Structure 1
Amino acid sequence: MPTAKPRFSRPSTPSITGVVLAGGLGRRMGGVDKGLQLLDGRPLVRHVTERLAPQVDRLMINANRSQEQYAALAYPLIADVISGFAGPLAGLHAALTAAETPLVATVPCDSPYLPLDLIERLYAGLQSQGADIAIASAGGRIHPVFCLCRTALRDKLEGYLQSGGRKVALWCAEMRGIEVDFSDQPEAFSNFNTLADLQKS
């Protein structure tokens, strides 16, 4: 799928920190660092940062290994505070801990076609329903790692993680998160889970 040339219209929102989640073990890719795998000659994480950066005020990358390679992108790096590769929620927790803005947005490092209006629409949904978390959905399927979350939820998330919770969708449901429909562009959430997926692109 070709990458569209970004056209950004930065909405009027409070300050938002964007975080690319690249802290996983890449098990389905044989243990390689997923964000550093190449698509059209560039790392997946590069595609993602180029689409997300203009939508937020600050951008960070959550990485637990390959720090030298990720540092080359010139964005601040944050590692999980919760040990043991606890998944995307650990990355969100690290972001909520490090952020100095009232809102944090997360996206995965393996979705290079993410919506160019992702943050604008998540924020509109958050505000219109008075929610603390907004997640993306498309075609009846939720994409909870595409998330906009109030920084004030850090302690609640820490408690959830310390109790053994790991499922993003379950935590969002417990926090009464709302869904924002992106069914007009479901292809924007296409991701690459295996090396074979990349080879087919």
Structure 2
Amino acid sequence: MAAEPSQKLTGVILAGGLARRMGGVAKGLQRYAGRPLLAHVIERLQPQVATLLLNVNHDRAAYAGFGLPLIGDAFADYPGPLAGLHAGLCAASTPWVLSVPCDSPHFPADLASRLFAAIKADGQRIAFARAEGKAHPVFCLCHRDLADDLADYLARGGRRVMQWCEQAGAVSVDFPDPAAFANFNSLDDLAC
């Protein structure tokens, strides 16, 4: 019997950025609907993967309270979400890594299975979400063997997630609800 997709996946939650648009606060620790944003993301992602990792570069003591292994960027100066994905690819014990940001608590409950199915159908090593024609490449399923390619891209100064996905031959997967990929960029957004 073939392994379920979730048994082959490590989830990495990206919380390693500077949250400039949110005034520099630790985004994942901000409260939404009575709980930290990160708690919502963990709850949504955990059933979809075999194990979870948390990419953080600051406030490690506060994030440690969530009980997840903490991984930091290998690149200085906070080069963005790709550095968090790279950290996940290097730390994963499974062949596949699914990245999601810490500020999008409503992503699809079938994100992993749909991205994995597309990869298997197309024979690619990377897939990302799309909704109503808009790409959401931070919601990305990637094979661990792309870690060196991603490290090279980052070392050359590359920072654009979509550009790297395209260079890596990514397949996009359409999802019906664009609101599922909405993220919180300001403290006022959290008050909804």
Pair 1:43 & 2:36 matched = yes
- Residue identity matched to 1:134: A
Alignment partner, residue 198 of structure 1 = 190
1:92 Cα shift?
0.5
Q: TM-score, normalised by structure 1?
A: 0.92
Q: Deviations over 1:36-62 (max 9, x none)?
A: 110011110110010001100000100
Alignment partner, residue 82 of structure 1 = 75
For 1:127 and 1:15, the matched residues in 2 are separated by: 13
Aligned pairs, number: 189
Pair 1:115 & 2:108 matched = yes
Q: TM-score, normalised by structure 2?
A: 0.96
Alignment partner, residue 189 of structure 1 = 181
1:185 Cα shift?
2.0
Gaps of 5+ in 1: 1-10
For 2:63 and 2:10, the matched residues in 1 are separated by: 18
Gaps of 5+ in 2: none
For 2:31 and 2:74, the matched residues in 1 are separated by: 28
Pair 1:141 & 2:134 matched = yes
Alignment partner, residue 97 of structure 2 = 104
For 1:170 and 1:59, the matched residues in 2 are separated by: 26
User: Which SS does the other structure have where 1:45 is aligned?
Assistant: helix
Alignment partner, residue 5 of structure 1 = none
Q: Match for 1:20 among 2, 10, 13?
A: 13
Alignment partner, residue 4 of structure 1 = none
Q: Deviations over 1:83-134 (max 9, x none)?
A: 1101000000101111111000000000000110000000001110011110
User: Which SS does the other structure have where 1:65 is aligned?
Assistant: coil
1:12 Cα shift?
1.9
Q: Point out 4+ residue stretches in structure 1 off by more than 4 angstroms.
A: none
For 1:68 and 1:108, the matched residues in 2 are separated by: 19
For 1:141 and 1:85, the matched residues in 2 are separated by: 25
Pair 1:174 & 2:167 matched = yes
